């Protein structure tokens, strides 16, 4: 009996200890981030932000309790922002508040937190509920708002870039200039404009406008229709230490005119770029690893729409981009439409970096340009003669050698990216499901505006999420079938055999 009592007491004590372990484990904990680039933790840039603070920075997360109870993301947001506070050594304050309970909904809506609707089931009734999940950052008299926060994956970038802007007290700005009459910004580049507007003040320039001082980067979208006079302000900006993206087409395709091609190799911009050291060839790069294009075909009286492989829309594999250059170091994927090869006159010259090439086994179309998807039989006309890998984009850092006599000597170090395609930045990428193209564009904008720290945060989690290592579709599907068969059939069969062998071994030993 005494032993029994002892054991009962011991069992009770153990239960109490377990409870204490649970409670303390929830209070004192640590996380180990096993992901590549520690994408689930905040980066050094964010950790050391507090050094730039002269005053207390207050981050308030306005989140509705009913959303917090329902979804995991608010807790992840809280965990992440808590890291800022933890590293902030007291200069970063973090508060979580339910605006409904605190009765501050009107106030926070006024400063820009946007209410969201979610479906809830209450007493068996499905209804819509209004919830909030927004962050307000206050520093001195200034504040900034992230209207809706739900994806913890992009939160660090949003938060750190806003905090930096608040500290600096001036927004960053980029300028857009459409250099081709067939694709004006307000018609063809609305998605890109919207994406940039989340991080920058976006200024639209007309050809010939002076690039405003303080512009972090100029994005030139096409350029064949710019005259020499209209190019002069661009060079003036570069010469003063500006940064520019030249997304230029050696062959322009007019989508609205039945994909009609126009060869533009003689436009002044190509002479200017050649003077800087970049040669854009008036030809097109094609590849069998490509996107599909919808094609309407008449079958008797019926019109059918099919998706056809379109070698003009090439998929750039991760293996074909520079892993050293910040723009492509963490590669989210890139699809180019009707791209022209770009060469550096002297690729080994100081400041030049090749950042994008085509996949292996690409080929060129360089005299007759067939773009109609129904003329596929003509696409591979020059496959055998021109088969190879072609460079498609170069970056350059350094002072420029002026092309125009009117430009004085360079007074600052310029940054330039030249890529042989402007269509990948257009709304066409939305249509082809190539959202990663805009991510690459943001990478370029950030590198051009010298914001490599932010670039690094934003691209930390970026990988090419597609299964793009194997470019050849036939090889891909063969290997895919093999992988399926191995896992679904062969491995289980091996276990069956192991079982049979084991059983017969025991039977034989008898």
Residue 11 near another protein by CB under 8 A: yes
Contact indicator for 195, 176 with CB cutoff of 8 Å:
no
In the region spanning residues 264 to 283, those forming contacts with another protein, defined by CB under 8 A, are: none
Residue 26 near another protein by CB under 8 A: yes
| CA 63 – CA 78 distance, rounded (Å) | 10
Q: Which stretch binds another protein (CB under 8 A): 107-115, 138-146, 389-397, 484-492?
A: 484-492
In the region spanning residues 65 to 84, those forming contacts with another protein, defined by CB under 8 A, are: 65-66, 68-72
DSSP assignment of 85-125 equals HHHTTTSEEEEEE-HHHHT-HHHHHHHTPPPEEEEEEETTE
Query: What is the smallest separation between the CB atom of 389 and another protein, expressed in angstroms?
Result: 20
| CA 401 – CA 114 distance, rounded (Å) | 49
Q: What is the DSSP letter of 52?
A: G
Neighbours of 45 (CB within 10 A): 16
Residue 492 near another protein by CB under 8 A: yes
Gyration radius of the chain's alpha carbons: 29
User: Residue 23 half-sphere exposure, CB side, CA atoms within 13 Å?
Assistant: 6
Contact indicator for 53, 167 with CB cutoff of 8 Å:
yes
Write out the two tokens for 144. 């900034």
| CA 266 – CA 226 distance, rounded (Å) | 12
Q: Specify the residue, 221 or 359, whose C-beta has the smaller distance to another protein.
A: 359
Q: Specify the residue, 3 or 51, whose C-beta has the smaller distance to another protein.
A: 3
Q: Specify the residue, 368 or 474, whose C-beta has the smaller distance to another protein.
A: 474
User: Residue 301 half-sphere exposure, CB side, CA atoms within 13 Å?
Assistant: 0
Strand partners, 294: 307
Q: Specify the residue, 18 or 197, whose C-beta has the smaller distance to another protein.
A: 18
Binding residues for another protein, total number by CB under 8 A: 63
Q: Specify the residue, 145 or 318, whose C-beta has the smaller distance to another protein.
A: 318
Residue 480 near another protein by CB under 8 A: yes
Q: Specify the residue, 9 or 257, whose C-beta has the smaller distance to another protein.
A: 9
Query: Is the sign of the CA dihedral 258, 264, 269, 274 positive or negative?
Result: positive
Residue 47 near another protein by CB under 8 A: no
Q: Specify the residue, 74 or 277, whose C-beta has the smaller distance to another protein.
A: 74
Q: Specify the residue, 30 or 384, whose C-beta has the smaller distance to another protein.
A: 30
Angle, CA 287 vertex, CA 284 and CA 293 arms, to 5° = 90
Please pick, from the candidates 111, 431, 479, 504, the single residue that binds another protein as defined by CB under 8 A: 479
Query: What is the smallest separation between the CB atom of 16 and another protein, expressed in angstroms?
Result: 12
Write out the two tokens for 112. 């820009």
Task: Give CA 212 to chain center in angstroms.
Answer: 27
Write out the two tokens for 280. 């854009």
Residue 22 near another protein by CB under 8 A: yes
Residue 377 near another protein by CB under 8 A: no
Q: Specify the residue, 35 or 227, whose C-beta has the smaller distance to another protein.
A: 35
Please pick, from the candidates 16, 25, 141, 300, the single residue that binds another protein as defined by CB under 8 A: 25
Write out the two tokens for 240. 């003063």
Residue 14 near another protein by CB under 8 A: yes
Please pick, from the candidates 9, 20, 36, 294, the single residue that binds another protein as defined by CB under 8 A: 36
| CA 197 – CA 204 distance, rounded (Å) | 11
Nearest to 347 by CA among 330, 322, 323, 365: 322
Neighbours of 121 (CB within 10 A): 8
In the region spanning residues 93 to 152, those forming contacts with another protein, defined by CB under 8 A, are: 120-122
Residue 288 near another protein by CB under 8 A: no
Q: Which stretch binds another protein (CB under 8 A): 298-306, 386-394, 448-456, 498-506?
A: 498-506
Please pick, from the candidates 20, 33, 229, 347, the single residue that binds another protein as defined by CB under 8 A: 33
Write out the two tokens for 458. 């934003």
Q: Specify the residue, 106 or 495, whose C-beta has the smaller distance to another protein.
A: 495
Question: Interface with another protein by CB under 8 A: which residues?
Answer: 1, 3-4, 7, 11, 14, 18, 21-22, 25-26, 29-36, 39-41, 65-66, 68-72, 120-122, 318, 331, 463-470, 476-477, 479-480, 482-484, 486-488, 491-492, 495-496, 498-499, 502-503, 506, 509-510
């Amino acid at each position: 009996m005494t032993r029994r009592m002892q054991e009962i007491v011991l069992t009770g004590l153990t239960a109490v200890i377990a409870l204490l372990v649970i409670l303390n484990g929830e209070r004192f904990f640590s996380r180990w981030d096993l992901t590549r680039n520690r994408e689930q933790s905040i980066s050094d840039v964010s950790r050391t932000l507090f050094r730039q603070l002269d005053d207390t920075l207050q981050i308030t997360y306005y989140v509705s309790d009913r959303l917090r109870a329902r979804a995991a993301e608010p807790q992840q947001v809280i965990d992440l922002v808590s890291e800022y506070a933890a590293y902030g050594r007291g200069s970063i304050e973090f508060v979580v508040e339910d605006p409904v309970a605190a009765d501050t909904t009107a106030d926070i809506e006024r400063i820009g937190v946007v209410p969201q609707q979610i479906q809830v089931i209450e007493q068996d009734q499905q209804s819509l509920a209004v919830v909030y999940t927004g962050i307000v950052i206050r520093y001195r008299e200034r504040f900034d708002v992230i209207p809706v926060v739900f994806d913890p994956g992009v939160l660090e970038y949003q938060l750190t870039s806003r905090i930096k802007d608040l500290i600096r007290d001036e927004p960053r700005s980029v300028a857009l200039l459409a250099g081709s009459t067939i694709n004006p910004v307000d018609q063809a580049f609305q998605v890109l404009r919207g994406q940039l507007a989340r991080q920058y003040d976006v200024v639209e320039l007309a050809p010939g406008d002076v690039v405003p001082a303080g512009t972090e980067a100029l994005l030139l979208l096409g350029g064949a229709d710019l005259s020499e006079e209209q190019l002069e302000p661009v060079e003036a900006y570069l010469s003063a230490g500006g940064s520019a993206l030249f997304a230029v087409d050696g062959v322009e395709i007019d989508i609205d005119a039945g994909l009609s091609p126009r060869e533009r190799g003689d436009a002044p911009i190509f002479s200017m770029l050649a003077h800087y050291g970049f040669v854009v060839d008036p030809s097109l790069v094609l590849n069998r690893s490509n996107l599909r294009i919808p094609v309407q075909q008449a079958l008797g009286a019926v019109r059918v729409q099919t998706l056809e492989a379109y070698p003009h829309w090439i998929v750039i594999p991760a293996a074909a981009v520079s892993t050293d250059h910040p723009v492509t170091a963490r590669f989210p994927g890139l699809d180019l439409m009707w791209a022209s090869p770009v060469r550096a006159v002297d690729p080994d010259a100081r400041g030049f970096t090749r950042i994008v090439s085509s996949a292996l086994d690409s080929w060129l179309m360089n005299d007759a340009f067939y773009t109609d998807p129904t003329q596929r039989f003509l696409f591979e006309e020059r496959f055998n003669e021109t088969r190879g890998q072609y460079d498609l984009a170069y970056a350059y850092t350094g002072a420029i050698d002026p092309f125009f006599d009117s430009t004085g000597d360079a007074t600052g170090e310029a940054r330039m990216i030249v890529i042989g395609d402007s269509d990948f930045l257009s709304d066409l990428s939305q249509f082809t499901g190539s959202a990663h193209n805009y991510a690459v564009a943001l990478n370029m904008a950030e590198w051009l505006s010298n914001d490599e720290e932010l670039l690094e945060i934003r691209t930390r989690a970026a990988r090419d999420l597609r299964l793009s290592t194997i470019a050849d579709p036939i090889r891909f599907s063969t290997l895919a079938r093999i992988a399926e068969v191995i896992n679904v059939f062969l491995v289980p069969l091996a276990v069956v055999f192991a079982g049979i062998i084991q059983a017969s071994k025991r039977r034989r030993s008898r």
